[in-house]
Amino acid sequence: MVSVFLFYSIMVCYNLVNILYLNKTIMPNIGSRTKLIYAFLLDLFFPNKCLGCGKYGEIICFDCAKEISIIKTTTCPECGRISHSGQYCRSCKSNHRNIALKGIIVGAHYDSGPLKEMIHHFKYSGYLSLSEQLAEIICNQLSNISGVKEFVVVPVPLYISRKNRRGFNQSELLARYISSRFNISGCDALIRTRDTRPQIGLPRAKRLNNLEGAFSCQDIEFVFGRKILLIDDVTTTGATLNECAKALKDTGAKEVWGAVIARNI
């Protein structure tokens, strides 16, 4: 009987440690002094370990961060030809009339260094402190674009039930940082009107059908006549960004650009 109780006690403690370790960057709603004590105790008993090399100290160590390969040559998101700032080239725009995006600004190569692990833990393990580092990868590319101050920021929305399960929308956190960094306006102007199947693993045609009509603009006044930076974490075919761009253009947006951390090809 004692051994069974001991076993279950150990299992409870083990699970508690895992929960605290994986979610240590999600601070409870407490005062700043208490929050510092909370963070100190967690760092003392559950120190950060680099997602890249496993070294204790930082979530991403300096050496691993250097391995993230920033995009230097921007290309058309459709055909891969070199294009200015990631614009769709004329040929692709004329061949694909349903493209609502002006282009997609991509920060870094998805498989470089620990970037893939960073994005995964940010989205699914609650490592919210990574949001600034990841958003800065997008900001690095936006800094090269003239007239960035003319834009407003809109995040790609999650369906309400999925956001509630996760506790946050990663695109909102990225958008909030970018808005603050460039001192430009931001708004949750889009909503997801229905829950869609995850895009991962779907062929291109099914990706497009899966998202058709899934987004709607709820703040026409904010969007009308504006240049929009549409923020998401990762894109593959650009289908999600394009469907969001359609909803924004249908309500009067002047121009819509996608901006993502990386593209998973």
Give average pLDDT by consecutive 10-residue segment, the chain, 265 residues: 48 44 43 56 73 90 96 95 95 90 97 96 90 97 93 97 91 97 97 80 66 92 97 94 96 98 92
**What are the structure tokens assigned to 83, written together?**
């294009």
Residues 108 and 26 in one domain: no
Residue 192 φ then ψ, to 5° = -95, 115
* Residue 203, domain member (yes or no): yes
pLDDT at 81: 95
* Residue 98, domain member (yes or no): yes
pLDDT at 96: 84
* Residue 177, domain member (yes or no): yes
Residues 38 and 118 in one domain: no
Residue range(s) defining the domain that contains residue 2: 1-47
pLDDT at 91: 94
> What are the angstrom distances between the C-alpha of 124 and each of 141, 163, 169, 176, 178?
25, 11, 11, 19, 21
- For residues 25 and 43, the answer to whether their CB atoms sit within 8 Å is no
Residue 47 φ then ψ, to 5° = -65, 150
pLDDT at 213: 85
pLDDT at 39: 54
Structural Rg of the chain based on CA atoms: 20
* Residue 163, domain member (yes or no): yes
Residues 41 and 78 in one domain: no
Residues 76 and 159 in one domain: yes
Residues 104 and 233 in one domain: yes
